[in-house]
Amino acid sequence: MPHLAAPASPPPAPNLMSDAREAASSSPPSERGRRKAVVVVMGATGAGKSRLAVDLAGHFAGVEVVSADSMQVYRGLDVLTNKVSLDEQNGVPHHLLSIVDPSVEFTCRHFRDHALPIIEDILDRGGLPVVVGGTNFYIQALVSPFLFEDMSEDMQGCTLSDQLDDIGLATDGVGSGYEHLKEIDPIAAQRIHPNNHRKIKRYLELYATTGALPSDLFQGEAAEDKWGRPTSSRFDCCFLWVDAELHVLDNYVNERVDCMINAGLLDEVRNIYNPGAVYTQGLRQAIGVREFDEFFRLYFTKKESDEIKAGMLNLHDDKLKSLLDEAVSQLKANTRRLVRRQRRRLHRLNKDFGWNLHHIDATEAFQCKSICTTGDSWHVKVIKPCADTVRRFLSNDTTLASKDCSNDGGGTRLASRELWTQYVCEACDNRVLRGAHEWEQHKQGRGHRRRTQRLKRKSKIKSTSS
């Protein structure tokens, strides 16, 4: 039987401010005497969410931004994670930026427990909280009353090694965690990617502590009724989805990476580089860190031998220049993949989970640089419709209230069940896809179709020759 190694002692967990959280969520909105209106700005990387949030402050009094970004919450890598600078904040208060040590694991539950008292405080002062971010699971943690991490809330003080020893599982070999999970709960193993070490660890911890199978908890009636749905939310939310056509976002992402390189991205990554680093926890999970591993491995080797005299952007070593070009290309490609994952998730939240996302198409605002001023187009195509939507929402227009999903005909249950099916695409190097939706999207992709056609041609040639 493969074994799972006990992790090193983690740094102290972030302050959860549980007393404030409990006070904030002790009763549903209808029982707290007044409407708790919150604006939520969502969208893929590069769509202009942060810019829109600041712009809304020019139309509504008391706007304060609460960041819902899983990497911007960490201190460091300001350029790589595209944090809003003080100048860009334009005097609008921003919360949950650069508050966590880079090595600490910060989960959805940690975010929720930090964000809730902040939002409540803004509301108590008569302000308008605007939650902004591309980490959709963070936003779900605020909106949905069901959160997986709550099930293992009492595990503090008990190490993973202790928990697994208690149920007779040895603990050597981190890479075998997924194999353990498949043996214990094959249904839960189907739900997650084999490389999602954080969630594998959490599932094992849950089983070791409670004896309950994660799949039983996730497929229970309470989970199917509540998970991911905005009903019974703590707040009355107005969801704005800033979007653009995919090719436009792709071009913008490529340009933004080039700007980041010129703005000092390489210096940031160099400062946190560690050849023995783990890229599955803390700030090092950020896209743009792992991609430069081979480059910096060779860079520091040559620097120690005094072979490098110029800066990183003026290299004369062909091998280093090649590795740098590959890393930048990989960073762009991985960011474009992130854009696709985020957009797929938003479509699912809107269609399958009953979120009433007000879709704002910013394509023209991105494309009009050559024919008009970008600012004018951004105002007309993005700011004005969003401000109008929020204004109607705040005036209690019922057409803008969060969509009631009580008559969805079981759509949420179907969405929950399909997450438990895992697909493996042999044509694409055994790539793992979660759920029927992701599988169908993958099959429609250009890369999959190209590889499938190539395999068919090879198979035809082989059968002809034999």
Q: Are 141 and 147 in contact (CB under 8 A)?
A: yes
Quote the pTM value: 0.71
Q: What is the reported pLDDT for 301?
A: 86
Judge whether 365 and 378 are in contact, CB under 8 Å.
yes
443, two tokens: 């099959």
Q: Which CATH class is domain 173-225?
A: mainly alpha
Chain centre to alpha carbon of residue 256: 19
**Are 59 and 36 a contacting pair, CB within 8 Å?**
no
Question: What tens digit of pLDDT does each residue of 63-107 get?
Answer: 999 999 999 999 999 999 999 999 999 999 999 999 999 999 898
> What per-residue confidence (pLDDT) applies to 229?
65
- Fold (topology level) of 34-146+230-399: Rossmann fold (3.40.50)
Q: Return the domain boundaries, the chain.
A: 34-146+230-399, 173-225, 422-463
pLDDT per residue over 101-131, tens digit each? 999 989 888 999 999 999 999 999 999 999 9
Band of pLDDT at residue 262, cut at 50, 70 and 90? very high
Least confident segment among 105-119, 240-254, 271-285, 396-410: 396-410
- pLDDT range class, residue 430, cuts 50, 70, 90: confident
Q: Which pLDDT tens digit goes with each residue over 41-54?
A: 999 999 999 999 99
